[in-house]
Amino acid sequence: MYLSSVLATSLLVALAHGYGAPGACSGACNIHDPSLIQRESDGTYFRFSTGNRISYATASSIEGPWTPVGSILPDGSSINLPGNDDLWPRELTVNFEPQAPDAQIVSGVYHVYYTVSTFGTQNSAIGLATSDTMNEGTWTDHGSTGIRSDSSKPYNAIDANLFNDNGNYLMSFGSFWQNIFQAPMNSAATSVASASYNIAFDPAGTHAVEGPYLYRYGDYYYLFYSVGICCGYDGSMPAPGEEYKIKVCRSSSATGDFVDANGVACTNGGGTVVLESHDNVYGPGGQGVFTDPDLGPVLYYHYVDTNVGYADGQKLFGWNVIDFSSGWPVV
């Protein structure tokens, strides 16, 4: 009965907002917390994800077919924190923090930022691995970027996202606690350069805000993030509307003053919904934005297909083309 009511609510939301169905995916499509990038030399798509010490796959297009490659850190991370030899299991449990890698290119070198943490604690650090080609076996672990947290901090140092603001590198990160922070990085984007500051916070409830992704389109910087309960749906379904969804705020600056479509500050609970449960799509989140050479801006994420199953290991890779014509992202 309860599950039926959740699905009914999702259907009503879909009818009201008219979200598009996820784009096609073939090959290895079971995934959690994806990150997309293209190799400059040949245009190959690379998709990194949580699990298996940062697993990754390749394809000739965003639709696939996605072919698994392996792990970027087969021996685990050099960061000396609990969780450094697992980097999150394929089936997410209460033992390890389920968070995403972030793939970027910096001065011709491919960077993947990752998190070492344990679930539900602030004992966390953001690390970095690099490669010139992204081929299997070519990754070098550089350990911590210097962005770390413990119980003395107002944030949790997970869910990294690097943004290049005209040659100035900014790292956005955070989950729960006081939500999303940002810190300037050095010129090589390998280590933190100065203190972090808050850019998004929901003062209500459990502060279930995480997974920032900063993207520039036109005159605005768009801060995408996930809100709600991410995981464990097969064990305990959230109340309707409390499952994962994707929100956004925007600003004319990359470093703050983000507001939603109603003008509410992102640091005071603001946030406009971009994508939420609809039709057979449930709990979309763990998102990023990718500029596809043929499709333009694309929102990508993981989601539960209610026709398949609710387990974390059954989550699927989803994507939708973004329409920015209104000044706000619509999918």
Active site residue 85: no
Q: Considering 97, 102, 159, 210, which one is annotated as catalytic?
A: 210
How many Å apart are CA 140 and CA 138, to the nearest integer?
7
SS3 218: coil
Alpha-carbon distances, residue 151 vs 124, 148, 188 (angstroms): 10, 11, 29
Q: What are the tokens at 218?
A: 């036109």
Q: In the structure encoding, which two tokens stand for residue 42, read together?
A: 């040949």
148 within 8 A of 125, measured Cβ to Cβ = yes
What is the rounded distance in angstroms from the CA atom of residue 135 to the CA atom of residue 33? 21
- Provide the residue type at 21 as one letter: A
Told to judge if 210 belongs to the known catalytic residues of this protein, a careful annotator would answer yes
Closest C-alpha to 155, from 223, 103, 212, 83: 212
Catalytic residue positions, numbered:
33, 210
